[in-house]
Chain A
Amino acid sequence: MIEVSCRLVRPRFVLDASFRAPNGCVAMFGPSGSGKSTIVRLLAGLERPERGRIVIGGRTLVDTEARIDVPVHKRRVGLVFQDGQLLPHLSVRQNLEYGRSFAPRDARVLPFDAVVNLLGIGHLLKARPATLSGGERQRVSIGRALLAAPRLLVMDEPLASLDSARKLEILPFVERLRDELALPIVYVSHAVEEVARLANTVVRMSEGRVIAEGTPSEVIGASVRDAGDAPFPRLSFISAKVVREQPEFSVAILSHPAGEIVLPGSTSRAGDTVRIAIAATNVALATEKPRGLSVRTRLQGCIRRIEDSAGPSVHVTVELTGGDRIVASLTRLAVADLGLTEGRDVFALVKAVAIDENAIANLKREPAAP
């Protein structure tokens, strides 16, 4: 359980935020200046709240009423800074080992070599931070935080400086930390795909306040009407099981009550249960089953809501067979031409290539057959 409730007043900024989240990954999402980074600093102990409480996994780090304030170096909150913040006078190896000596012996569960290999930084151990690229620095920073055996991992835009290929390697790694080590993670990001993939709980912030908290689909999903001051693509979350792989096409096929879903990439295995996030702009609707169309994913459903809009586009929510909801962003013209109304049966068409691989969350992998 991650429990935060803090008030902090700065000359031009007031933070008054509280949220509770079960263990797992909490994603903090919101525009810059909304207080995400301040919460990161509060968690690490680099800022003190005027009033508040922070409890992580039953351990009270801050309680202003009880006059508890665990000092930074005793919190064991592994912080991955936005720009790495490696110690410039130490080599990469020394940076990685810096926090290790402070961690209790029995807490050092991650072997040094395993972390180094996983992050692909073995060839950099002798290098100085100044000679590294942004992405390399970020990976070393993640490794350094992990090797200090933290009880909570806090990542502030950790993948912002990484390219897409490297993200695809690191995101599963973060998932494994979350699942296998049961390491609670607070993840700050602008990237809705990363949030969608990693988070069990999403906390949306605006102007120093929490404006929404809940599961990804509750906070950034199909039914969220108001994007507010943090415009993000409307996402629909769909969980389904991989029924077969087609490696010759680098795709996997998901089975869903409303139809089959084609998933790009080759990281999913038959038997996996995955959660995908589909942006509303990548969904089209058809009133009858289309023929001669390249789009393979055709999901049956029924229009539940057509939102009012004065602009060129509207959001149309479709309830799929089986209960999941998917949102399509259509032009008002299309809605009028097709005569779409609430209650109408339709097919939701999703282009597989538009599904962001970074947003595919692997919920459950079945053990391989013996």
Chain B
Amino acid sequence: MWSLTPEELVAIKLSLRVASVATLASLPFGIAVAYILSRGRFRGKMLLDGLVYMPLVLPPVVTGYVLLILFGRRGPLGALLEDTFGIVLSFRWTGAALAAAVMSFPLMVRAIRLAMDAIDRRSEEAAATLGASPAWVFLTVTLPLALPGIVAGAMLGFAKALGEFGATITFVSNIPGETQTIPAAIYTYTQTPGGDEGAFRLSVIAVLIAFGALIASEVLSRRTTRRRAGLA
């Protein structure tokens, strides 16, 4: 009952890879967008805000379909990526990573933005009066002070990316060894006679990984919060 089949192991490894790549690749963008949303004052800020949070409220299938239209081999962005960089996303694990990144982006941005909103602006002002340029202020004040939120956002994004299903299956289908992540594998099991045991095993694994990520996020962010608050 508890021994995993080779296919299940492949799905688990693939899921971890997809979620890790999705998180790491989207983190710099997440920090940048969170910073813009937290500090920026410009026309169209609400539009950007809405755009970022869109995947949270759209049916995942719709997000996946939009990705398919844009990043499919004949889609405008997909064709561009293939022609200039030779990157193909559709029906590849990289596409699964993109779908996971898009779906987890709002959660990540939200956590980071809240942390940045909570920073006392006068700390940044103090640094500037001491001679730090805006870039230095960002690197030596904003970023370190937002670190607990960044860690929490990354972990939250990772957990969300692991569980992404709807957009992934719509965009890159359900190909064992290429795009079949844990949720897709579970779905396949439930559609197969006698697949209950496999579905159960993978579900337990999914719960463990997600829970582990949340605990890790909590521990890390508590530790950094304590250090940032100057108590450790």
Contacts and interface: CB of A to CB of B under 8 A. Distances in A.
Interface of A: 44-46, 72-79, 81, 85-89, 98-99, 102-103, 128-131, 144-145, 148
Range of interface residues on B (Cβ < 8 Å) = 20 to 34
A72 B128 contact: yes
Interface in B137-154: 137, 140-141, 144-145
Nearest to B126: A85
A88 B232 CA distance: 11
Nearest to B135: A73
Interface stretch (B34-42, B169-177, B207-215, B223-231): B223-231
Contact of B129 (A44, A89, A128, A131): A44
A45 B126 CA distance: 11
Given A72-B128, A148-B131, 4 more contacts: A87-B126, A88-B123, A88-B230, A98-B127
Given A73-B133, A81-B122, A87-B123, A131 B128 contact: no
B230 A102 contact: no
For the residues of B in contact with A, the DSSP-based class is helix
B130 interface: yes
Residue of B123, B125, B130 with most chain A CB atoms under a 10 A cut-off = B130
Nearest to A86: B126
B206 to A, nearest CB: 36
Contacts of B123: 85, 87-88
Contact of B230 (A75, A130, A148): A130
A112 to B, nearest CB: 15
Contact of A77 (B129, B145, B230, B231): B129
10 contacts: A44-B129, A73-B132, A74-B131, A79-B129, A87-B126, A87-B127, A102-B136, A131-B230, A144-B130, A148-B130
Nearest to A131: B230
A136 B229 CA distance: 17
Contacts of B122: 81, 85
Nearest to B124: A87
B131 A73 contact: yes
A145 B125 CA distance: 13
B231 A78 contact: no
B230 A129 contact: yes
Given A81-B122, A85-B123, A89-B144, A130 B128 contact: no
Contacts of A102: 130-132, 136
A317 to B, nearest CB: 43
Contacts of B131: 73-74, 76, 99, 102-103, 148
Contact of A79 (B126, B140, B228, B229): B126
B130 A89 contact: no
Interface in B164-205: none
A86 B228 CA distance: 12
A89 B119 CA distance: 11
Nearest to B130: A99
B229 A46 contact: no
Contacts of A87: 123, 126-127, 141
Contacts of A103: 131
A85 B130 CA distance: 12
A81 B126 CA distance: 8
Contact of A88 (B132, B140, B228): B228
Nearest to A74: B131
A4 B122 CA distance: 23
A277 B141 CA distance: 43
B128 A89 contact: no
